[in-house]
Each structure stands twice: as C-alpha cells, then as structure tokens.
Amino acid sequence: MRAEGTAAVVTGGASGLGAATAAALAGQGAAVYAVDLPRALEVAPAVPGVEYLAADVTDPDQLRAAVATAAGGPEPLRIAVSCAGIAPGARILGRQGVHDPALFATVVQVNLVGTFHLLALAAEQIAATEPDDDGQRGVVVCTASVAAYEGQVGQAAYAASKGGVVSLTLPAARDLAQHGIRVNTIAPGIVDTPMMGQIDEEFRARLAAGVPFPHRLARPAEYAQLVLAIVEHDYLNGETIRMDGALRMAPR
C-alpha cells in the first residue's frame, strides 16, 4: 500500500514522533490530519499537506469526530498512527509514599486506552472503504516502547501501559484481518523528542553512549521512516518492531 492519494490520521501529531510522521506521510502525498490537544496545536509547525485537529485521545467522542473529519475528505482513510503518549515517572513505593493511583490510571488511559480508541475508531472508518486488489483497506501503527520489555525504576505505569500496547497488537491484527486492515507496533528506544529537552547534555551523552550502535539517540525522522516502511510492506502484520540500536535498558 502506498501513502499517496490516501488520508492519514496521526495522534500526538503536533510534536515529536507524531509531527515527524505527519510530515513524512504528507511528503509521500497523503492528506494528513494531525490530532493533538489544543495547547499543543498552538505551537505546531505549519506543514504543507497537514491539517491539525484538536482532540483528546482519552475522549472517544472527540476522537471519533476527528477521525470522521479525516475520513470525510476526497481521499480514502487508509492510515492511522498512534503517537500520543505521556511518560511521568514514579516509584511504586517512594519517598512520598505509595504511587499515586490516579497518576497510574492516567498513564494507562492516555497510552493504552487512547491507543485503543484510535485503533477502533480508525478501523471503523477504514473498513467502510473499497479494498485494493488484494483485499487490503488500510493499516494502523501503534507506538509502544522498549520499556514494555525492560521497564526501569520509576516506570511501572509507563511500562505497564506500553506493555499493554504490545499485547494488543496481535489480537487487534487478528480481529481486523477480516476487514483487510493490518496492525503493527513500533517500540522505540531513546528518541530525541521534545520530552528529552529537559535533560542536560552530560546525561544525554551518557544515554547515547549506552546504545550499542549507533552511539546516539534515535531521531523522530527514523521513527517516521519506519512508519512509511510498515505502510508499504503489505505482508507485515501483527508485529512489534523494536527501533532501539540494540539497546537493552538497565534497571536504572
């Protein structure tokens, strides 16, 4: 499947992985609808071929409206990419006491339930399109993390939410096979996104040195490149792909 001449919806599309993906898809000729929170859209870059839509991935009604907008244009909706996510850290038992249960629930709600919302609502619209000669209608790409496999100290909520995304991938692919929709997940390692902008250069250098090869942080454009490869590879389905430079995270 090719991106050209299709519509694509990308959550978390105002910055980081989502912005890079939206730009890459638009560069391939897709009509891209980048979904994010209103405050994020205030500083989102203007990109030819990318239209911004305000919606909270934890609110299915808001997200349904955004997906319907993406599906309502002249191009058939074929691609959905879930990049919206948060990564607060907290120990299960720390100096301030027990992990805040509300924080744990929020992380799971955004990272896992929000991913499911896009998966289901995009699938609903994609399933209504005409299939190609192979019966394919579209593809959904989710975002996990290497924390799903090697969660570090303070990542209980984050690792649980991303582990849920990994576990969701295969049954989702099996569920949606009858509709000609593929489902795959990318599990990035340490990516140089705006969330990393809070750390100092010395710590950034130590993080980069811990990656076997190449000795640097991943770039958002490399995530976007992998999304394009998944879109174009029609036989890739039900898979979680690590994009981490062979990194295996230490406990801390």
DSSP string, 27-83: HTT-EEEEEE-HHHHTTPPP-TTEEEEE--TT-HHHHHHHHHHHHTSSSPEEEEEE-
The span from the CA of 131 to the CA of 229, in Å, is 20
Is 158 a residue of the active site? yes
114-126 vs 60-71: helix axis angle to the nearest 10?
30
pTM: 0.95
3-state secondary structure of 114: helix
Which of 158, 172, 214, 208 is closest to 80 using CA atoms? 172
The span from the CA of 116 to the CA of 85, in Å, is 12
Q: Is residue 112 a contact partner of residue 164, using CB atoms and an 8 Å limit?
A: yes
Among 33, 52, 158, 223, the one annotated catalytic: 158
The residues that bridge with 114 in the sheet, in sequence order, are none
Res. 85: pLDDT tops 90: yes
Backbone angles phi, psi at 58, to 5 degrees: -85, -5
pLDDT in tens, 156-207: 999 999 999 999 999 999 999 999 999 999 999 999 887 776 666 777 788 8
The position carrying tokens 């898809």 is 25
Backbone angles phi, psi at 13, to 5 degrees: -85, 0
Q: Once rounded to an integer, what is the mean pLDDT over residues 58-72? A: 98
Backbone angles phi, psi at 131, to 5 degrees: -75, 160
Average pLDDT score, the chain: 95
Amino acid 234: pLDDT:
97
Backbone angles phi, psi at 140, to 5 degrees: -115, 130
Q: Is residue 227 a contact partner of residue 10, using CB atoms and an 8 Å limit?
A: no
Taking CA 115 as the corner, what is the angle to CA 110 and CA 116, rounded to the nearest 5 degrees?
115
Q: Once rounded to an integer, what is the mean pLDDT over residues 222-231? A: 98
pLDDT in tens, 103-137: 999 999 999 999 999 999 999 999 999 999 999 99
